[in-house]
């Protein structure tokens, strides 16, 4: 009788935990992180050993960049289960983000913990892609004096390549780009496109071309991306490059009109920026009237410094 009574008591608790988790995940999807945090704090107080709820609370803090709260909760998880690679990965990641916010002296004390956590996660799960990406970036970005290492970064890029060709190629592209070897970076980003062809693969190569001031190559790559993925956002990006570099202005203008016509919030960049880019294009063309028309539309939508500065430039034409 006692056994069945305890089981009956546990069932509502388990149902409550699952319901809370599902509610919180919906709040995460709608980016209501503060509300999720409030719900989870109460849930964790009521169920202090529920690892799913503790992890979600850590995630809620992390989404809000409240790194102390994230660290506290992920550390609880690591102590509860030292053999869970993902707990170590999240704990190390939160500490790494904290290190970016504090003084260099304080950051030094955190970096060791970050490395230990990432190494532990990598050892526990030989197939954990995210932690290997984190190691690639960590060792490239750290100064050599506190443990930065091109060699170690490349080691984890090779491990990534063994797990996923596309991740390995992207990681190597990142390493070469960071190390100021753009030709090798281009080579590996192109390999990633051949193997994976995701939006991310194309975006990495486009970003490299823009960084290297190669707008025509950037536009060509974005057009290839659009053929495969049919994203309206690409129209804005092409228009932006055309406006920034004063190249292929007719194509840029056409793309921006298309972006405005088909715009939805999912496209990411507010439509007022497309107005601004059109104004830039007409400024390059020497059409003061059209340039003013579009910058006024941008300013009517939102009063931003770049828009104000561009209008002043137009008025001096």
- Distance between alpha carbon 74 and the CA centroid of its chain, in Å? 21
Residue-by-residue DSSP string for 196-222: T--HHHHHHHHHHHHHTT-HHHHHHHH
Cβ within 8 Å of residue 145, ≥6 positions away: none
Query: Do the domain assignments include residue 131?
Result: no
Select the more confidently predicted residue: 10 or 241. Answer: 241
Give me the domain span that covers residue 91: 32-125
Whether residue 214 lies inside any domain: the answer is no
Question: What is the Cα–Cα distance from 92 to 111, expressed in whole angstroms?
Answer: 9
What average pLDDT does the structure give for the chain?
A: 90
79, 101, 125: which is the final residue of a domain? 125
Q: What would the pLDDT profile of 72-118 be if each residue is shown by its tens digit?
A: 999 999 999 999 999 999 999 999 888 878 777 787 788 889 899 99
Q: Which of 13-17, 174-178, 249-253, 299-303 has the lowest mean pLDDT?
A: 13-17
Is residue 105 one of the residues assigned to a domain? yes
With residue 194 as reference, give the H or E element that holds it: helix 182-195
pLDDT value at position 108?
Answer: 79
Looking at the predicted structure, is the pLDDT value of residue 28 above 90?
no
Is 40 a domain residue? yes
Asked, for residue 63, whether it belongs to a domain, the answer is yes
> Does residue 152 form part of some domain?
no
Q: Is residue 76 one of the residues assigned to a domain?
A: yes
197 part of a folded domain: no
Identify the pLDDT of residue 17.
64
Domains identified in the chain, total number: 2
Which of 86, 107, 125 is a domain's end point?
A: 125
End-to-end CA distance of the chain: 89
Q: How much is the pLDDT for 14?
A: 43
Residues listed for the chain: 317
**Final residue in a domain of this structure, among 125, 143, 168:** 125
- Over 50: is that where the pLDDT of 16 sits? no
């Amino acid at each position: 009788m006692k056994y069945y009574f305890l089981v009956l008591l546990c069932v509502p608790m388990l149902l409550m935990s699952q319901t809370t988790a599902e509610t919180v995940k919906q709040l995460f999807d709608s980016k209501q992180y503060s509300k999720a945090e409030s719900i989870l704090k109460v849930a964790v107080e009521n169920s202090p050993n529920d690892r799913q709820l503790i992890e979600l609370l850590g995630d809620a803090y992390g989404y809000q960049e409240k790194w102390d709260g994230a660290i506290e909760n992920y550390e609880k998880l690591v102590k509860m289960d030292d053999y869970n690679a993902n707990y170590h990965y999240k704990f190390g990641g939160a500490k790494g983000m904290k290190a970016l916010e504090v003084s260099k002296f304080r950051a030094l004390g955190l970096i060791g913990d970050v490395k230990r956590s990432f190494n532990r996660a990598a050892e526990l799960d030989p197939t954990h892609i995210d932690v290997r990406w984190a190691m690639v970036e960590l060792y490239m970005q750290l100064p050599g004096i506190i443990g930065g290492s091109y060699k170690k970064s490349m080691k984890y890029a090779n491990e990534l390549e063994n797990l996923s060709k596309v991740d390995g190629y992207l990681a190597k592209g990142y390493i070469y780009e960071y190390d100021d070897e753009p030709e090798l970076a281009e080579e590996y980003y192109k390999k990633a496109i051949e193997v994976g062809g995701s939006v991310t693969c194309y975006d990495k190569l486009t970003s490299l071309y823009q960084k290297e001031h190669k707008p025509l190559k950037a536009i060509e790559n974005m057009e290839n991306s659009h053929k495969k993925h049919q994203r309206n956002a690409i129209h804005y990006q092409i228009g932006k490059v055309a406006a920034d570099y004063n190249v292929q202005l007719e194509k840029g203008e056409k793309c921006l009109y298309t972006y405005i016509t088909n715009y939805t919030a999912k496209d990411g960049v507010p439509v007022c920026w497309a107005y601004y880019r059109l104004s830039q294009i007409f400024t390059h063309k020497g059409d003061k009237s059209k340039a003013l028309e579009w910058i006024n539309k941008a300013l009517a939508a939102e009063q931003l410094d770049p828009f104000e500065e561009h209008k002043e430039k137009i008025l001096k034409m």
